[in-house]
A and B are shown apart, each in its own frame.
Chain A
């Protein structure tokens, strides 16, 4: 078991810098997810930890051991590949015991350990089959058993679920989560699927262009994103321009809400991130952003609305009500749930609601 610390890591391919300067800490036993759009450098970083990518600068430590120059075969890492990388010419059992054989484990122990993980992953009944006779989900289980049986310090998973169909994906997601918790192994997990990341992770690092945008728990990342990119990448949101005046956010049409965290902040133009469920639609009244219903979709539990305002079209989700929903073309007033919305400075890079006090509480 290890904690991983990465300090000032740099990755270059020739003259192109893929990761300029990246630091992060991964706690012992944590399931840590690298999340980001494709090409953001998440797989590159994972392969740097694994030793398949060279490191052009900075240090990576497992506990107190610097691993930069240790050969990949000596790092004691378990890795699950996107295409599983099951050896097709070896039986399921031989695949799983491959790593133990390389470690010259004695026969008795080798069988015990192999059986333990075949059982844990529920593939004991396929032990003597060849991998090509097995389904994607089963191959995934082999890959996981093979990576875990060597009791690695760190488990690395590179988009392990992306080759599975939707149903299996959900199933394997919980298999991975449960196995990781019961083995208690520090895990780095790469995915571009934010729902998967939310469901599985202890902590998430959202990356873009080789730079970590936000590290936090799934809840923290969703509720208090560090910047506009994170707010828009995780879940859906509306970005509405506004102005702060003495600790209150003023929208167009004179609508304003007082937000305690903004107190003492200089008056400035801001960008508000308001998620679809953070609006409240009022059919009457005098306060609110004026809007006109453009279209709506009734989905049973919820109803989705698109509403035109002076600042553009916003997307709103409300629980469906029993009486008649709004009509297209109807004028409405929009209020926001002020305790939930996020306010960014005009460049979108600082969340003004994340006060020092909030940071400490995290």
Chain B
């Protein structure tokens, strides 16, 4: 290999510097500004730890931290407990309608988290359909609000992530390993616990981290159904909204605490999973077997029940979107009234929902390809810096990033708050690490010699890259891009901080309509969002050549 480990100011060197500059301006500067704000007294400009002292001394604030931990840990454990066995059953047994179930699980995982929450209110809330039904026959069921509800909604929202991760890992387990286990007298559930789970442990840990981070940073769900049970992102949001124009310091301090916690969790996960990692490669993947009798029935009941419950809120929202609405309440009969209302009110937000993520996507793809190339083919001090910088958004909750961007850019020299640009920047920063990871994995599959062949045949470096390497990466890039797109159109926690009337997106529209109690419009809007999501996933499946999705 050519001596690529030294920095040279060729075309790739320039690209490296430009990318670092972009990160410095749009991520490090606002984050740094946020940290400075948290330790500066707003009036005197002196250094102070007042904000942190305030947070930890009042249980009104510090309890939210505990609450967030409780919720996130509970949700992570539940998601693992449901997702892992389900993935194993899907890999090990024949289940009728498996393809459809798999797609439904993907759809469930891809919908905006708070839509689930809002739908569960309609089902299990105080005047929810199921609650009323049981109340009428004289059974009081526990309501959805508070700790239990949040955990339930988050679990149902996030177990598909565990499922998809575990499915991917199970594909790499060689069948002979399971046969060996059986041969040594360890089969069934024991084999699952003693052999399968340890083998996919690294993947499960990665999935657990993702679930934890998502539930820790989730703002919509606790906001809607938390009621008295306030979590960290909720207090961060309310404090920030209250404090805008006044002292931002306290909100900044909460944001800093959030980053510290997610960083610790991230590092802890890395430490544990580094010690447990090993390479698996299946020559003969697991074979699906036909289960017998009672076992078969149990497997089917479990699979259909879990998927049914997971997909139920989506279905119910779609159903209610066609109901008649009088004032703010659903009335008997069906019409397209809610859609009419939705389009009248929110025409612009639909447009924004397409435009903003699309712009972000273009930037993300371009940057991800370049950064992936630098990280794989040009390892040096500076590209390592780029690599580290690009990973930071992993551990920064969306709300925190939103606040940092707003604080950093709401005054000259860079006054871009309230514009579409700042929304695009936020999406790019948040989604880039995922696309970079998949591009890196993609690029590592392509041997360096292919590019060298092109160069030895007279192509310039840039030509070799764009004519040979990029087309070879294309399939992976496009499927990654669609997944990014799907997550971006349902993004809430950053957008909620940054939006203005002109840059409102569908998710924000749904959120505000739910808060205002306009359930009909909210249902119509979220149905549109779901339709967009499903459509995108269908395109993804088509492009991905019918291969099953892996994250």
Binding site for B on A (CB under 8 A): 13, 47, 50-54, 72-79, 81-83, 85-89, 98-99, 102-103, 146-147, 150
Contact = CB atoms under 8 A, between A and B. Distances in A.
Contact of A81 (B2, B453, B458, B472): B453
10 contacts: A47-B1, A53-B1, A72-B452, A73-B455, A81-B453, A89-B472, A99-B457, A102-B458, A146-B457, A150-B457
B3 interface: yes
A74 B461 CA distance: 12
B458 A103 contact: yes
Nearest to A72: B455
B449 A83 contact: yes
Contacts of A51: 2, 456
Contacts of B468: 87
A85 B464 CA distance: 13
B459 interface: yes
A83 B457 CA distance: 16
Given A72-B452, A81-B449, A83-B449, A98 B3 contact: no
A77 B471 contact: no
B3 A53 contact: yes
A50 B456 contact: yes
A50 B471 CA distance: 25
B463 interface: yes
A88 B460 CA distance: 19
Interface string B439-474: 000000001011011111111110100001001101
A102 B456 contact: no
A166 to B, nearest CB: 23
Interface string B171-200: 000000000000000000000000000000
Given A77-B456, A79-B453, A89-B474, 20 more contacts: A50-B452, A51-B456, A54-B2, A72-B456, A73-B457, A73-B458, A74-B458, A78-B456, A85-B447, A85-B453, A87-B468, A87-B472, A89-B471, A98-B454, A98-B459, A99-B457, A102-B459, A146-B453, A146-B457, A150-B458
Nearest to B456: A79
Contact of B1 (A52, A75, A81): A52
A51 B459 CA distance: 14
B3 A102 contact: no
B459 A73 contact: yes
Contacts of A47: 1-2
Contacts of A88: 472
Contacts of B3: 13, 53-54
B458 A99 contact: yes
Contacts of A78: 456
Contacts, number: 71
A234 B472 CA distance: 42
The dominant DSSP class at the B interface is helix
Nearest to A143: B453
Nearest to B474: A89
A52 B472 contact: no
Contacts of B457: 73, 98-99, 102, 146-147, 150
Interface centre among A51, A52, A54, A103 (most CB of B within 10 A): A52
Nearest to B459: A102
B454 A81 contact: no
A78 B452 CA distance: 11
Interface string B1-42: 111000000000000000000000000000000000000000
A173 to B, nearest CB: 21
A77 B457 CA distance: 7
Contacts of A53: 1-3
Contacts of A150: 457-458
B196 to A, nearest CB: 33
A81 B471 contact: no
Given A73-B460, A102-B463, A85 B449 contact: yes
A120 B463 CA distance: 29
A51 B451 CA distance: 13
Q: Which 9 A-B pairs have the closest CB atoms?
A: A99-B457, A102-B458, A85-B453, A85-B449, A81-B449, A79-B456, A54-B3, A85-B450, A73-B455
Contacts of B1: 47, 52-53
A83 B455 CA distance: 16
Contacts of A102: 457-459, 463
A82 B449 contact: yes
Contacts of A76: 458
Contacts of B458: 73-74, 76, 99, 102-103, 150
A87 B460 contact: no
B362 to A, nearest CB: 22
Contacts of B459: 73, 98, 102
Contacts of A146: 453, 457
A82 to B, nearest CB: 7
Nearest to A78: B456
A86 B453 CA distance: 8
A285 B86 CA distance: 84
A50 B474 CA distance: 28
Interface centre among B455, B461, B463, B474 (most CB of A within 10 A): B455
Contacts of B449: 81-83, 85
A74 B459 CA distance: 9
B456 A73 contact: yes
B452 A52 contact: yes
B2 A87 contact: no
Contacts of A79: 452-453, 456
A74 B455 CA distance: 9
Contacts of B447: 83, 85
